[in-house]
């Protein structure tokens, strides 16, 4: 998986988090497959189509925090992730 400081695309824009779809029992293969990029300041009450229940790994960038909820529209239990 990339480190928190590595979350910068080639054009240099900042990324707050990346969520990955593929799962593996081997750490070096966890952050693979499709990637959902979360830009700074994002407020998304619903997961994009095809991503609900699919995230297996995530990396949160420095000076960022990612909050996720167990139910849609920011309902249910929440959990916060940071670098």
pLDDT at 59: 93
- What pLDDT sits at residue 38? 93
The reply to whether 12 falls in a domain is no
- Residue 26 included in any domain: yes
**CB-based contact 45:76 (threshold 8 Å):** no
Domain presence at residue 23: yes
Q: Is residue 11 part of a domain?
A: no
Does 44 reside within a domain? yes
DSSP H or E run through 81:
strand 75-82
User: What is the domain count for the chain?
Assistant: 1
- pTM for the whole structure: 0.82
Domain that holds residue 66: 17-82
Residue 30 burial (CB count, 10 A): 17
Q: Does residue 24 belong to any structural domain of this protein? A: yes
The reported pLDDT for the residue numbered 82 is 94
- Residue 32 belongs to some domain of the structure: yes
Residue 6 inside a domain? The answer is no
Residue 28: φ, ψ to 5°:
-70, -5
Q: How many CA atoms lie within 13 A of 15 on its CB side?
A: 21
């Amino acid at each position: 998986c990339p480190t928190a400081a590595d979350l910068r695309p080639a054009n240099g824009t900042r990324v707050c988090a990346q969520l990955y779809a593929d799962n593996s029992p081997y750490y070096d293969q966890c952050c693979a497959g499709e990637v959902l990029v979360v830009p700074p300041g994002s407020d998304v009450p619903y997961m994009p189509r095809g991503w609900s229940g699919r995230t297996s790994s995530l990396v949160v960038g420095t000076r960022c925090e990612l909050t996720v909820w167990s139910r849609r529209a920011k309902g249910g239990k929440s959990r916060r992730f940071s670098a």
